[in-house]
Structure formats: C-alpha cells, structure tokens
C-alpha cells in the first residue's frame, strides 16, 4: 500500500511544530504555519478526546495539515488529515484502515534499519533524527548529522522531516541538506521575540532557503 502524499514542490511541509495542546495551534496557523502535529502524552480518556477534537477542528478551519501523534483510532474517527506513528505504534496500528480512509501517515525513524522497515509500508513522509543533540528528550539514538541527512534525502523517494536539536542558527543548513519539513519543539522560541515573531522568522528562513535550494536544481 502507498499512503497519500502530503506535499508538493510548491507546498513543502515546512516548519512543522509539535505541540501538546490544541489552543497553541491557532496562534501557529495565524503566524503562517501550514503543517503541525498534536502530540499529547499527559492526558487520557475524555480529556484527551476533547483535546484532539479541538485540535482537528482548528486545523480544518485553517485548512492546515494536522498530524495526530499515536492516536490513530481518533484520527480515523475524526477523518483527520494525518497520523504520525513511532516504530512500535506502527506494529499495533490498523494500517489498511488508515490507508483506506485516505489519511496520511508519517513514521519516526532513527537508524538505517528503521528507515528500511518504514519504507515497506510506503508512508507519506519519514521523520529522521535526531539530527543534533536535543534538550526536549533524552537521546536513545546517536545523532544523524547533516551529512547522513543529505544521504537519506538523496536516497529516498519519500519526503524527509528532520527532527532533533534544530534551532534558528542551524535551520538553514538542515534545509540545504534537503529536508522537506523541519519538526520543532523548543526551537520555536527565540530570545527577544514574541511567539508570533519567532514563528514568522522561522518560516521566512525556511522559505528563503527552500527557494534557493530549488533554484540550484534548475
């Protein structure tokens, strides 16, 4: 099976924030974000469902690409744009049902073996990382680095989302290495800027570097 595409050359995934609450999405979309992920680790039951419903509703009102992390059953129920799964979650998910519903699928990968395994299900994108050291979680895998990121981008036929330790100062280098999307958590916040200014600055850096990269291939 091959999952639906989630990008085009004119509309890359771009700056791809990972947030833990639905109320953060509206500000991001108003700043110009077109792709985001709702990643909730501290709620369950009705509170979790309400949060995911709100996130899905907000994203659809902005015609944005929202990926629900882990909770693929809720993604099916809501007919969400996409779902993002980790390595273990892929084994438990009903992939044919997700595919049949036309929901896009992103998969986390950290090693060549995980990349090879994920490619067998032909997801909409692969998240590869960590690219650099990160403060958002304790690392269980070695960093990928820019050289290996570029290798995978050039090797794979599926869009690559780079994740892990990406900040404003190294963002352009990651885009130049070929990433289609840049997953960010802590990197969204910049000293001396409002949240809105920070996100707009990151979008500007991405768009400029992406266009320059595209022209270099002409």
CA distance 20 to 1: 30
Is residue 185 one of the residues assigned to a domain?
A: yes
Is residue 9 one of the residues assigned to a domain?
A: no
CA distance readout (Å), 114 to 85, 87, 107, 108, 141: 13, 7, 10, 8, 12
How do residues 60-114 score in pLDDT, each as one tens digit? Answer: 999 999 999 999 999 999 999 999 999 999 999 999 999 999 999 999 999 999 9
Q: How many domains does the chain fold into?
A: 1
- The pLDDT value recorded for residue 9 is 85
Segment 155-167 mean pLDDT: 97
Residues in a beta bridge with 20: none
Is residue 196 one of the residues assigned to a domain?
A: yes
CA distance 197 to 193: 6
Is residue 5 one of the residues assigned to a domain?
A: no
Is residue 1 one of the residues assigned to a domain?
A: no
Is residue 72 one of the residues assigned to a domain?
A: yes
How do residues 115-139 score in pLDDT, each as one tens digit? Answer: 999 999 999 999 999 999 987 666 6
Helix (H), strand (E) at residue 128:
strand 125-128
- For 200, the token pair is 């707009």
CA distance 62 to 94: 28
- The pLDDT value recorded for residue 186 is 87
Taking the alpha carbons at both ends of the chain, their separation in whole angstroms is 32
Is residue 8 one of the residues assigned to a domain?
A: no
Residues 58 and 45 sit within 8 Å (Cβ to Cβ): no
Expressed as residue numbers, the domain containing 83 is 14-216
Taking all residues of the chain, what is their mean pLDDT, rounded to a whole number?
95
95 Cα distance to chain centroid = 19
Q: Which residue has the higher pLDDT, 141 or 108?
A: 108
Domain containing 90 — which CATH number?
3.20.20.70
pTM of the model: 0.96
Is residue 2 one of the residues assigned to a domain?
A: no
Give the range among 17-26, 43-52, 142-151, 191-200 with minimum mean pLDDT: 191-200
């Amino acid at each position: 099976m091959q999952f639906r595409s989630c990008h085009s050359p004119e509309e890359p995934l771009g700056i791809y924030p990972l947030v833990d609450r639905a109320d953060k999405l509206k500000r991001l979309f108003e700043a110009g974000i077109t792709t985001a992920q709702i990643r909730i680790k501290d709620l369950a039951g009705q509170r979790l469902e309400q949060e995911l419903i709100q996130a899905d509703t907000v994203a659809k009102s902005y015609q944005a690409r929202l990926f629900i992390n882990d909770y693929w059953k809720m993604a099916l129920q809501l007919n969400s744009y996409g779902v993002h799964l980790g390595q273990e979650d892929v084994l438990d998910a009903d992939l044919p049902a997700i595919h049949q519903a036309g929901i896009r699928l992103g998969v986390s990968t950290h090693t060549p073996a995980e990349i090879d395994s994920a490619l067998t299900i032909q997801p909409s994108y692969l998240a590869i990382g960590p690219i650099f050291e990160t403060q958002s979680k304790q690392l269980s895998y070695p960093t990928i680095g820019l050289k290996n990121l570029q290798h995978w981008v050039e090797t794979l036929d599926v869009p690559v989302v780079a994740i892990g330790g990406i900040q404003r100062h190294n963002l352009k280098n990651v885009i130049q290495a070929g990433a289609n999307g840049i997953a960010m958590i802590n990197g969204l916040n910049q000293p001396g800027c409002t949240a809105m200014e920070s996100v707009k600055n990151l979008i500007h850096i991405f768009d400029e570097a992406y266009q320059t990269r595209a022209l270099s291939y002409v």
